[in-house]
Chains A and B, each alone.
Chain A
Amino acid sequence: QEQLVQSGAEVKRPGSSVKVSCKASGDTFIDNVFHWVRQAPGHGLEWMGRIIPYIEEGENPQTFQGRVTITADELTKTVYMEMTSLRFDDTAVYYCARGRTYLGEMAVWGQGTPVIVSS
């Protein structure tokens, strides 16, 4: 059964960067779409962007442009999300998810990576 396995919890200082990984176990990788979604404590889900590995370039909503970079490594079947200039309100659980189609529904989710921004 396909799985997405994410890297472990992170504690970061304000102003620093974090890079979260998401390793896929399925047979196909490069023509899938992978999303990143975060959930701050007590809040709803927030879409951060997506990547289709064979296109190689991720895309983000305006909220995260310039601060979030999504990349993919075909050889290791791993997708990455890097966020810079961390703020206290970036404290959240970060999820990767594989799209069911290219439209945007998210069929398979990673277990989540808690990122705590604290001084």
Chain B
Amino acid sequence: AIQLTQSPSSLSASIGDTVSITCRASQGISNALAWYQQRPGKPPKLLITDASSLEAGIPLRFSGSGSGTDFTLTINGLQPEDLAVYSCQQYHIMALTFGGGTKVEI
């Protein structure tokens, strides 16, 4: 199975900051990577697919980049509602796997 390693596991930032979260795959996955946001007590919400394609209705302050083994989720101008755990997920191989998550605290 492809392992996804996220860093950092948690971070604390202020409103308006730019925050970056990385996701490293144990082998190349092309751009078959999604990012999810999970607010406390809620199910995950799909933010980005194909490493950099923003889902409809997701604020433009969210962006994704990368291909192969290294990926980044960036939040430009952190907002209070961005308090959440962010997880990456690969779908290059149909033994889908998720990263361990990054908790973003405001």
Interchain CB contact under 8 A, B96 and A35 = yes
Q: Does A11 contact B (CB under 8 A)?
A: no
In the complex, the answer to whether A100 meets B44 with C-beta atoms within 8 Å is no
Instruction: Name the A residues within 8 Å of B1 (CB-CB).
Output: 61
Q: Is the interface of B mostly helix, strand, loop or mixed?
A: loop
By the criterion CB–CB under 8 Å, are A44 and B43 in contact?
no
Which of the four size classes fits the interface of chain B? Answer: 20 to 34
When the two chains form their complex, are residues A109 and B98 in contact, meaning their CB atoms are under 8 A apart?
Answer: no
Chain A contact residues (Cβ within 8 angstroms of B): what range? 20 to 34
Given contacts A61-B1, A100-B49, A103-B32, contact A95 B97 (CB under 8 A): no
**Cβ-defined contact, B95 with A105, below 8 A:** no
- Asked, given contacts A61-B95, A105-B34, whether A45 binds B44 with beta carbons under 8 Å apart, the answer is yes
- Nearest-Cβ distance from residue B99 to partner chain A, whole angstroms: 7
Quick check: A44 and B96 within 8 Å, CB to CB? no
Q: Is there an interface contact between B94 and A106, defined as CB atoms closer than 8 Å?
A: no
The chain B residue sitting closest to A104, CB to CB, is B91
The answer to whether B91 touches A103 (Cβ under 8 A) is yes
Residues of B within 8 Å of A112, CB to CB, are 43
CA distance A35 to B95 in the complex (A): 12
Contact of B94 among A37, A46, A95, A104 (CB under 8 A): A104
Produce 1/0 per residue, A32-64, CB < 8 A to B. 000101000001111100100000000101100
Q: Which residues of B contact A (CB under 8 A)?
A: 1, 32, 34, 36, 43-46, 49, 55, 87, 89-91, 94-101
Extra pairs beyond A105-B91, A109-B44 (19, CB < 8 Å): A44-B87, A44-B99, A44-B101, A45-B44, A45-B87, A45-B89, A46-B98, A47-B97, A47-B98, A61-B95, A100-B46, A104-B89, A104-B91, A105-B34, A105-B49, A105-B89, A106-B36, A107-B55, A112-B43
